[in-house]
Amino acid sequence: MGCMASSQRISVLTSPSQSSWPETGVKGETIVAALVRLDDEIAKCEKAQPAARLAVVTAEMESIQQEIKTFEESTNTSAMNKEAYAKTLHQLFVNLDIYRRPMLASENEDFIANVNRKEMRRLELSWLRTRYSELQRERRTLHAQILRTRSLYSQLQQLIESLWKESSRPGTPLEGALSRARALRDALSGVGARLRAAVEYAHAAVRLLDDALPAWKLTNVGKYALHS
C-alpha cells in the first residue's frame, strides 16, 4: 500500500495552484482527498491478497490439468456419454443378477471391484473438470483484482509525479523502506495462502474419510455374513 509515503507527502502540500487532482481523477477532487482515496482503495484491494491466492490457484489448476491428461491418455472418455455409461453398468449387473444374488457378487468380487474402480475414476474425472472450471472463474476474478490494484498504484504514482520531480520529492528514503516492507509482506502472504490451502485440503480429506468409513464397515459386515 502507499500509506506511509502518501501521509508523508500530504503534509508538504502548500501550492494553491496544485490543490486539485489532475484531469485523470475524480472531478473537483482535491489532491489530499485523492491521496487518501487512493490509499484507502489500495488497502481494500490488497486486503484479500489476490496475488498470493492466484499462485495457489494456478498451482492447483496445473495439478488438476495433469491428472485429467493422465486419465484421458489411459481411458477412452468419448466412447459414451454419462447417461449411456450409467445404463450400461446397471444393465451389466442386472444381467448377472448380482443385485439379488449376494453369493454371486462375493464370488465375482474382483470383477465387481474392477468395474467399481472404473466408475470411481469416471466420477473423479467429472469432479476434476468441475473443480477446474471453478478455479478458472476464480483466477479470472483474481486477475481483475490484481489489475485493479496496479491501476490504483499507477494513479497514485502519476499524482505524486505531478506534484514533485524525482530529485525534489520528499520522503524518498521512506519509499525504499516501504518497498522492502511490501516485498516482505507479499512473501509472507504467499506462505500464508499456501498454508491455508493445505489446511483446507486436510479438512476435505478428513471429511471424505468420515464419509467412507461407514461404507467400509458395511462391506466388512456383508462379507462376514456371506461367509458365515
pLDDT tens, residue by residue, 110-140:
777 777 777 778 788 888 999 999 999 999 9
Identify the CA nearest to 33 among candidates 159, 179, 178, 150: 159
User: Tens of pLDDT along 164-208?
Assistant: 766 666 667 787 888 888 888 888 888 888 898 889 888 888 887
Q: Which amino acid is at 137?
A: R
Residues linked to residue 20 through DSSP beta bridges, in sequence order: 30
Asked whether 142 and 54 are in contact (CB, 8 A), the reply is yes
Angle between helices 3-10 and 172-227 (to 10 degrees): 150
For residue 75, give the DSSP letter: S
In this prediction, residue 19 carries a pLDDT of: 46
